[in-house]
A and B are shown apart, each in its own frame.
Chain A
Amino acid sequence: MNIIVCIKQVPGTTEVKIDPQKNTLIREGIKNIINPLDTYALEEGLKLKERYGGKVTALSMGPPQAVEALREAISMGIDEGILLSDAALAGSDTWATAYALAAAIKKLGQADLIICGRQTTDGDTGQVGPELAEILKLPIVTYVSKVEEIASGRMRVQRLIEEGHETIESPVPAVITVVKEINVPRLPSLRGMMKAKGATIPIWTIKELGIDPGMVGLAGSATKVVKLSYPQRTSQGELLKGELASQVETLLARLRDAGLLK
C-alpha cells in the first residue's frame, strides 16, 4: 500500500505576536513543530503500513526550515520525506497549497491513501484536505476516527461528527483527514532519529512540480489577509472575595443580574 501523509510545520506556540509596522506575524525566535494533528496522520500511516505493508511518504509545503518537520516524520518511521519549497509558493492560501500538494502527489505516481490531519494550529481552517481531494478528483472522508479495513479497492472508516460516529465506506484511492481519537502517535525511535539525520530530503520547486506560478503563492490565492489584530478582551475579571459560601452567593447574584441563570 502506498500512503502519502501531508504535514505542515507550524509555530510551536499559539502565542504569536503581530509586527505593528508590517502588519504581519513575527515568526523569528519561535520554535517550529509538526502540526499536532499531523502527527496523528503520520501515526495512522505507520499503523496501516504495519498492517498492510507498503510505503509511507511524508509531503510538506513550506519554507526551507520545514525540512526539519520531515526529518522528525522520518524519525517516527516514515520511509521518505519530500519538501515543496519555492519563493513562488509563499503566501499561498488553502486552495493554492492544495494545488501544489496535488502536483507533487501526481508526480509521485500511484497513492492508495492520502492522509491529512483535521486542521492546523496556525490556519485552523481544515480546508486543504477537502480541496486536495477535489483537485485530485478523489473521494474524501473527513474527521476519521478509525480505519476499520482497507481491502479489495474499498475502505471502511469511522467518522466523528458533532452528533456521534458514522461508519462510511468508500473506494480507494481516497483522501482522509483524521482526528485525535484515531490513535496515539509514537515517539521517535533512536534508530529512526539516526536514519532521519542521514536522510536525503528532496526539495521540489515549482519547476520540478511543473506548475504555473500564477496558480500558487499570493498570485494564485483567491483569499488574502487584509488585516491582523488582537482580539478585544472586554472587561477585566472580578476575583471574588470572602468566605467560599459568600463568594458563591455573590457569583449567583452576578449571574442572575446578567440574566444568565434561568
Chain B
Amino acid sequence: MTVNDSYRGIWVFAEQRNGKVKSVSYELIARGRELADALQTELSAVCFGQGITEADQLIASGADKVILVDSPELLNHDEDLYTGQLVELIQKHKPEIVLAGATSLGRSFFPRVAGILNTGLTADCIGLDVDVEKRLLLQTRPTFGSNIMATVVCETKRPQMATVRPRVFKKRTPDTARKGEIIRVDFDRAHITSRTKLLSFVEDLTEKVKIEEADVIVAGGRGLGNAEGFKLLEELAECLGAAVGASRPVVDSGWIPYSHQVGQTGKTVCPKLYIACGISGAAQHLAGMQTSDCIVAINSDPNAPIFTVANFGIVGDLFKVIPLLVEKLKKG
C-alpha cells in the first residue's frame, strides 16, 4: 500500500464551548505551526459553532486559513453533526494531518471520523514530531498508565489523525501582523443529521477552577481522614488560586465528587504545580498526574510511592503542614 500523495496540509480542530475557543486548540495551533513549517505546508484551523468571533485570533496564533462552519445547530457539541461535517470537509480538502484536543469531545468524535474514513487515529498524545522525508507524523503517547511511552505512526492511510492532551504544548504569543484566509462554509444540513438530542446540561459548580485547565492543583487522598479534610485543602487551594483534585479512594468513599478525581479512571492533568496531600501515590493515581511540571508531596509515610515522583517532599502530618503553608502564603 502506498501513501496517497495528494493529501497536503495540517488541520487543527478548534473546539469552542459557549462561543469561546478552548486553550488546548491554541496550544495545538502553536505546535501545528512548527510542524507545518517543517513540512512546508499550510496550517488551517477548523471551527464549528455559532457566532464564532475568534477567526482573527486563530490566524494571529499561527493558522494560515480558518475554516468556519457557523450555524445554530453547531453551538452545542452534537457529535453526529460534528462527525458528519468534519468527514465531509476532510474528504473535500484532503489534509494530511488532522489534530484535536483530547477533550471529552475530541476523544469521542475523532474516533468516529477516523472510523468512517478508515484511517489511523492516535489518542492522548503527549508528543508530536514529523519525519519530513516521509511526511509522517510521529505520535508519542503513554500506555499502561504512563509507565511506557509508545511512538506510533500511520504509515499509508490519510489523514493521519491524533488527539493531544491539554497543556502538553505551549501557546504562542499572537502576532496580529499575520495574514490569513477565512473560509466560511455553510453547514450541510441537507445531508448531515443527528440522531441524538441534548435534553439538558448541568454545569459542575463544585469545580471553582477547572481541573484540566488549572495551573495549580491541590489534591487530597486518604490521609485527609474524612470529607472534612477537604475544607483544609480548599483553604490552601484558595490561597493559590488552585483547583482541587482527589485520589480514587476518597472519591469512592464519597468525600468529594468524581469530577475531582485524578488518575487512570479519573482525569489526567498536567498543571505547572501539583501538590499531593495525604496521597500515597498508587500507580493508577500517578498515571493521572506524573507529567505535571512540578510535584510536591506531603505525606506522613516516608515510604509512600508519591515521593518517587515528587520534586519536593515533606514527610509530616498534613494537618500541621497545610495550615503552616496557608499562614505563610497569606503573609505573602
Residues of A near any B CB (own CB < 8 A): 11, 13-16, 18, 25, 36-37, 93-95, 98, 118, 121-131, 133-135, 139-143, 156, 160-171, 179-181, 221-231, 233, 235, 237-240, 244-245, 247-249, 251-252, 254-255, 258, 260-262
Q: Which residues of B contact A244 (CB under 8 A)?
A: 314, 316-317, 320-321, 324
Task: Tell me whether A122 and B212 are in contact (CB under 8 A).
Answer: no
7 A-B pairs whose Cβ atoms sit less than 8 Å apart in the complex: A14-B144, A222-B156, A230-B147, A237-B308, A237-B312, A255-B296, A262-B240
Interface residues of B in 88-116 (CB under 8 A from A): 103-105, 107-109, 111-112, 114-116
Of the candidate stretches B29-37, B44-52, B57-65, B194-202, the one touching chain A is B194-202
The total of chain B residues at the interface (CB under 8 A) is 91
> Given the known A-B contacts A15-B147, A248-B324, are A180 and B265 also in contact in the complex, defined by CB atoms under 8 Å?
yes
Q: Which residues of B contact A221 (CB under 8 A)?
A: 120
Task: Tell me whether B143 and A122 are in contact (CB under 8 A).
Answer: yes
Task: Tell me whether A261 and B314 are in contact (CB under 8 A).
Answer: no
Q: What number of A-B contacts does a CB cutoff of 8 Å give?
A: 242
User: Is B71 close to A, CB under 8 A?
Assistant: no
Residue of A nearest to B77 (CB): A161
Q: Which residues of A contact B153 (CB under 8 A)?
A: 223-224, 226
Residues of B near any A CB (own CB < 8 A): 17, 79-80, 83, 103-105, 107-109, 111-112, 114-116, 118-124, 138, 141-157, 195-204, 210, 212, 216, 240-241, 258-259, 264-267, 272-273, 283-284, 287, 290-291, 293-297, 302, 307-317, 320-321, 324-325, 328-329
Task: Tell me whether A164 and B142 are in contact (CB under 8 A).
Answer: no
CB-contact partner of B328 in A223, A226, A249, under 8 A: A249
Task: Tell me whether B148 and A229 are in contact (CB under 8 A).
Answer: yes
Q: Tell me the smallest distance from the CB of A96 to a CB of chain B, in Å.
A: 10
Task: Tell me whether B119 and A121 are in contact (CB under 8 A).
Answer: no
Task: Tell me whether B107 and A126 are in contact (CB under 8 A).
Answer: yes
Residue of B nearest to A231 (CB): B149
CB-contact partner of A11 in B122, B144, B267, B316, under 8 A: B144
CB-contact partner of A130 in B111, B199, B325, under 8 A: B111
CA gap between A54 and B156 in the complex, in Å: 44
CA gap between A18 and B313 in the complex, in Å: 29
Task: Tell me whether A237 and B307 are in contact (CB under 8 A).
Answer: yes
Task: Tell me whether A164 and B201 are in contact (CB under 8 A).
Answer: yes
CA gap between A81 and B150 in the complex, in Å: 32
> Given the known A-B contacts A126-B123, A230-B148, A252-B325, are A238 and B111 also in contact in the complex, defined by CB atoms under 8 Å?
no
Which of B111, B199, B272 has the most A CB atoms < 10 Å from its CB? B111
Task: Tell me whether A168 and B199 are in contact (CB under 8 A).
Answer: yes
Task: Tell me whether B312 and A163 are in contact (CB under 8 A).
Answer: no
Known: A224-B152, A260-B294, A262-B241. 16 other contacts (CB 8 A): A11-B144, A14-B283, A98-B115, A121-B264, A134-B83, A134-B111, A164-B259, A165-B202, A222-B119, A224-B153, A225-B151, A225-B152, A237-B307, A237-B313, A245-B324, A261-B240
Q: Tell me the smallest distance from the CB of A153 to a CB of chain B, in Å.
A: 12
CA gap between A126 and B109 in the complex, in Å: 11
Task: Tell me whether A224 and B155 are in contact (CB under 8 A).
Answer: yes
Q: Which residues of B contact A98 (CB under 8 A)?
A: 115
Task: Tell me whether B258 and A180 are in contact (CB under 8 A).
Answer: yes
> Given the known A-B contacts A169-B199, A235-B311, A251-B296, are A127 and B121 also in contact in the complex, defined by CB atoms under 8 Å?
yes
CA gap between A253 and B295 in the complex, in Å: 15
Residue of B nearest to A131 (CB): B115
Task: Tell me whether B145 and A238 are in contact (CB under 8 A).
Answer: no
CA gap between A131 and B118 in the complex, in Å: 9
CA gap between A180 and B266 in the complex, in Å: 8
Task: Tell me whether A231 and B142 are in contact (CB under 8 A).
Answer: yes
CA gap between A174 and B284 in the complex, in Å: 31
CA gap between A36 and B309 in the complex, in Å: 25
Residue of A nearest to B327 (CB): A248
> Given the known A-B contacts A181-B258, A240-B312, are A164 and B157 also in contact in the complex, defined by CB atoms under 8 Å?
no
CA gap between A225 and B143 in the complex, in Å: 11
Q: Tell me the smallest distance from the CB of A43 to a CB of chain B, in Å.
A: 14
Q: Which residues of B contact A127 (CB under 8 A)?
A: 107, 111, 114, 121, 123
Task: Tell me whether B143 and A167 are in contact (CB under 8 A).
Answer: no
